[in-house]
Structure 1
Amino acid sequence: MNDLNELFKNFTLLKTIPFHSLSENRNAGNSIKKTVYNQGEIIHFDGDICTYIDIIISGKVVVERIDDSGNLMTITEFYPDDVLGGNLIFSKNPHYPMMVSAKTDVSLISLSKGLVFEFCATNTDFLKVYLEYISDHATLLGDKIKHYVNRSIRESLIAFLKNEYKLQKSSTIQLNTSKKAIADRIGVQRTSLSRELQKMKKEGLLIFDKDSITIINMDMLM
């Protein structure tokens, strides 16, 4: 586990764990593991039981669902230092409600339920960081779902533009991803997204090219 020792120094939750406590724990060998997934691989299927929490070491992970029309919707995204399964592992129904997959090549460090419980019971620093993380991300996930589920294409697109406007602080939204990725994020087909963009352009609400969307009528964000 020497290679894990270095990793433990660089990630928020793992930094709270004295590495020597793992070597002293006779079950640590079965309770902690490092896993690598290739881009496009499924990490957890919808319905899988959560028996470990996963700390993302590298790469990008997405949570996705398929709506009633067969569209793939990206609910949220996770990045290095984020935790998967933290809100599920102690649930009475610890099943993943949606598919979790590797958007890029991904490396994870996974801690078993037993080990997480032990650290929560004996390590107040670990417990504090763990509770803060799952509380903050439960709120963020709820906001994401509220924004993108059961909305029209235009409402979902406006919600996306409003979020990017706040992040980029500009009426010209730079698209750092493809329109297909944006369509997946708001849960529509790429062709449907393109049609809605054309309609909004004709109505004088925005203009766009392959690299950006410029908001002309700021009132639509209100």
Structure 2
Amino acid sequence: MHHSVLNCRLFADIPEEEIDSLLLCCKASERSYQKNDFIFYQKDKPEYLHLLLEGEVAVCRDSPSGRRSLVASFNRGGDLFGEVYAFLDRQEYDYYAVAVTAAKVLWIPRTFLYRNCNNQCSFHTNLTLNMLNILAGKAYFLNQKLQYLSGETIRHKIAAFLLKHNKGDNKVVLPMNREEMADFLGVTRPSLSREFMKMKQEGIIDIKGNCVTIIREEELEDLFG
């Protein structure tokens, strides 16, 4: 068993020896990819959960004009992607997954999560409950993203993002690079960078690399007053 499996929330509170049995029982398979290889394509039939073991994977969607929109990126061993489709009655993916670097991915059949286990694995129920917890967390995350996207202007979106990630010391370490943040907020990267610079010039924030210092927090809050 790859060590990254132990980092996955899907297997929380399940002993390591039982995880081995579960993976064997569900017929999980490990697959390797080179940079730019597709893990699955848009319109593929979703039949598996995907657990990142090594490398980095991007989940994307292309617009009719061909512009790529980043849905999410994964670079930590143990990250799950495509898991939402485990409980959706959908015949195809709405997006695709591509390896950003060389990567290894564990494929887990989705049917294992909601059918009775023939081998009566003692921790099968734990696995299903962990999956429900993961889906609840993802629903919360998407709700937060919707709040950002509903901002009237780029400044509204940036302000909402910074206020959400401010832990009380007015210093925010951006959890993604500029391109990923632009995709997340639904704006172009140049527009995002220009607005950051305007806010810095106006003395609202200071920004160095991926660290943003909020100087005039009240001005960010006033945008929502």
TM-score norm. by structure 1 comes to: 0.73
Partner of 2:57: 61
**How do residues 22-171 of structure 1 correspond to structure 2 at under 5 angstroms?**
25=25, 31-66=27-62, 72-78=68-74, 79-118=76-115, 122=120, 123-148=124-149, 151-166=152-167, 169-171=168-170
Q: Structure 1 residues 34-43 or 50-59, which shifts more?
A: 34-43
- 2:200–2:206: 8 Å Cα contact kept in structure 1? yes
In the alignment, does 2:184 pair up with 1:191? no
Tell me: CA distance 1:210–1:18, structure 2 relative to 1, closer, same or farther (3 Å): closer
Alignment match, 2:204: 205
Q: Is the 8 A contact 2:4 2:78 kept in 1?
A: no
Distance 1:51 1:133 in 2: 18
Is the Cα–Cα contact under 8 Å of residues 75 and 145 in structure 1 kept in the other structure? no
Whether the 8 Å contact between 1:65 and 1:72 is mirrored in structure 2 is: yes
Code of the residue aligned with 2:200 in structure 1: it is K
Greater mean deviation of Cα atoms: 91-100 or 46-55: 91-100
RMSD of aligned residue pairs (Cα, Å)? 3.4
Closer, same or farther in 2 for the Cα pair 1:101/1:177, shift >3 Å? same
Alpha-carbon distance in structure 2 between the residues aligned to 1:150 and 1:125: 39
Report SS of the residue matched to 2:83: coil
Report sequence identity in percent. 25
Preserved contact between residue 74 and residue 187 of structure 1 (Cα < 8 Å): no
User: Partner letter of residue 138 of structure 2?
Assistant: H
Change (3 A) 1:18 1:92: same
Gaps of 5+ in 2: none
**Following TM superposition, by how much is the alpha carbon of 1:89 offset from its aligned partner in structure 2, in angstroms?**
2.4
Output the CA distance in 1 between the equivalents of 2:127 and 2:49: 13
Structure 1 residues 53 and 75, CA gap change in structure 2 (3 angstroms): same
Distance in 1 of aligned mates of 2:139 and 2:151? 19
TM-score by length of 2: 0.72
Structure 1 unaligned segments of length 5 or more: list them.
Answer: none
- Residue aligned with 2:84, SS: coil
Deviates more, 1:84-93 or 1:179-188: 179-188
Letter of the structure 2 residue corresponding to residue 156 of structure 1: K
Change (3 A) 1:48 1:154: farther
CA distance in 1 between counterparts of 2:37 and 2:152 reads: 29
Tell me how far 1:35 sits from its aligned partner: 1.8
Deviates more, 1:45-54 or 1:193-202: 193-202
Amino acid at match of 2:140: T
Q: Give how far 1:118 is off.
A: 3.6
Q: AA paired with 1:106?
A: A
In structure 1, give the amino acid aligned to 2:98.
S
